[in-house]
Amino acid sequence: MSAWAAEIDYLAWQKDILFIVSAGNLPTVRLPGLSITRKALTEHFGEGCAYPDFLLKDSSRIANPAQSFQALTVGSIAHCAYNQPPTTSVASQDYPSAFSCTGYGIWDSIKPEVVEYGGDLVKDEGNPPSFSTPTDVCPELVRTTIGGAPAIAADSIGTSFAAPKVTHIAAALASNFPQESCLLYKALIVQSARLPTWANDEPDLSSAIRMMGYGLPNLERALGNALNRVTLITNGDSLIRARQAHIYQVIIPEELQSPAEAFDILVEITLSYKAEPRRTRRNKRKYLSTWLHWECSQKEESPDKFLARVLEKYEASEDQEDGSGLFDWTLGQQKNHSRRVKDTSRGVGTIQKDWAVVKSFDLRDTFCIAVIAHKGWNNDLTAQVPYALAVSFEIVNSEIAIYNSFVQAQASLQVQQQVQV
């Protein structure tokens, strides 16, 4: 971990701060002082490495300090396609910008976590091509009027212009929920994020997640609910210490359990936490004072059986997951568990999201989520770390109302059991 990123992590731990950091930009041409490990776009194209393949190379990985474990890192995607022969945009609409640095982060954590529209580059037919930024591929930006410049213009590109759009969502969350902490704001931003349609159509999501994380956040999903979507959250920071597990029960409304119904329900779960970092530690589980992960109960598994399973597999839960049960998670807790994402897992970073689509009649009357804390470098087992949890249910491709029935079943997520493991 770089000194800069580690300091961001330490300040995030010390104070209720959410750092939103841009992923960094790839240069179009090699300039003096550019690291030998970083290649310019003209070098990638000159070597015959096509878009988006060069974004998956180590030379395109996120820039310092975007690897910060406790910051929210933002990459860029293109808001349009440009085709004015002999020039064309490198990326199509909703694809990663040609200049946007990508993941994974340190210890293969998911970085960037989210993306926003930061523009794209236009290339000509040269070999290697030269690049330009016509107005069409630049996002509309607020700018200084010093020197007579307009207050709004579209004349620049970069991840530095994508990050403030995510900051806008965070500011709206802070305005609407001033009593809550930045951990919840971070959780709701990631919870609201979706990968573009083209990515979800791919059989292998690994490249898309490496380039775009959890996708494009949405202000409306982050701020509130809809008739066909409900998000349950923890209120305030929940505190947990190493070798503890907090068990949450979510009550499923009866009308969703009917065998006669066959709704597809998107289930999304996001855990956001922070812990004290120690830069001298090189292991991903020793960099933080305490590290957390979450697990979910399986089909037909009672709360008591789920608790017993959590206690039984505690020591092995970092790397083992049997893969059975109700939810076919997109990522999974264990690397190479998922059929669609082969080289990462949800459990590495301090923001951990996963999602699955299930049939409504497969949901039992309750299912449980466990937040489990493990010892990091801190030997004080009484030391506590805060976290926030968000769980969403959405009827897929339908306006069937579920919000009211969920509200009647439970107002928010509450710890049902707190056990020592």
User: What's the pLDDT tens digit per position in 118-161?
Assistant: 999 999 988 888 999 999 999 988 877 888 878 888 888 999 99
Q: Are residues 280 and 169 part of one domain?
A: no
Whether residue 28 is contained in a domain is answered as yes
- Residue 404 within any structural domain of the chain: yes
User: In a structure prediction context, what are the per-residue pLDDT tens digits for the chain, which is 421 residues long?
Assistant: 889 999 999 999 999 999 999 999 999 988 887 777 888 999 999 888 999 999 999 999 999 999 999 999 999 999 999 999 999 999 999 999 999 999 899 989 999 999 999 999 999 988 888 999 999 999 988 877 888 878 888 888 999 999 999 999 999 999 999 999 999 999 999 999 999 999 988 888 999 999 999 999 999 999 989 888 999 999 888 999 998 889 998 888 877 776 666 788 899 999 999 999 988 767 777 899 999 999 988 777 777 788 888 877 765 545 555 444 567 889 888 766 666 787 788 889 999 999 999 887 777 777 889 999 999 999 998 899 999 999 999 988 777 788 888 877 765 666 656 656 5
Residue 60 shares a structural domain with residue 151: yes
In a domain, 208, yes or no: no
Domain of residue 413, CATH code: 2.60.120.380
Strand order from edge to edge, sheet including 366-375: 290-296, 366-375, 244-251, 415-420
Is 197 domain-assigned? no
The predicted pLDDT at position 323 comes to 44
Phi/psi of residue 182, nearest 5 degrees:
-65, -25
CB atoms under 10 Å from CB of 23, counted, come to 34
Which token pair is 175?
């305005």
The DSSP annotation for 76-95 comes to: EE-S---EETTEEESSPTTS
Final residue of a domain: which of 156, 183, 210?
A: 183
Going by C-alpha positions, the residue among 121, 113, 23 that lies closest to residue 80 is 121
Residue span of the structural domain in which 69 resides = 3-183
| Max intra-chain CA distance, the chain | 69
Same domain, 8 and 93: yes
Integer-rounded Cα radius of gyration of the chain? 22
Residue ending a domain, choose from 183, 207, 234: 183
Does residue 241 contact residue 385 with C-beta atoms inside 8 Å? yes
- Residue 376 placed within a domain: yes
Asked if residue 196 belongs to a domain, the reply is: no
Residue 280 backbone phi and psi in degrees, to 5? -70, -15
Structural domain includes residue 210: no
Q: Same domain, yes or no, for 278 and 170?
A: no
Predicted pLDDT of residue 322: 47
Handedness of CA 388, 391, 397, 403 (dihedral sign): negative
Residues 245, 379 within the same domain: yes
3-state class (DSSP) for residue 421: coil
* Same structural domain, 295 and 373: yes
Same domain, 178 and 235: no
Domain ends where: 131, 155, 183? 183
Query: 242 and 300 share a domain?
Result: yes
If asked whether residues 262 and 385 sit together in one domain, one would say yes
Token output for 68: 């910060």
**What is the domain count for the chain?**
2
Angle of helix 159-176 relative to helix 182-192, nearest 10 degrees, comes to 120
pTM: 0.92
Residue 169 shares a structural domain with residue 235:
no
Residues 285 and 148 grouped into a single domain: no
Asked if residue 389 belongs to a domain, the reply is yes
Closest CA to 274 of 67, 66, 10, 23: 10
**Confidence (pLDDT) at 131:** 93
DSSP string for residues in 4-41 = HHHHHHHHHHHSS---EEE--B--SS--TT--TT---H
DSSP symbols for 129-167: PPEE--GGGSPPEE---GGG--SEE-----HHHHHHHHH
Instruction: Give yes or no: residues 172 and 260 share one domain.
Output: no
Beta strand pairing call for 72-77 and 114-117: parallel
Residues in the chain: 421
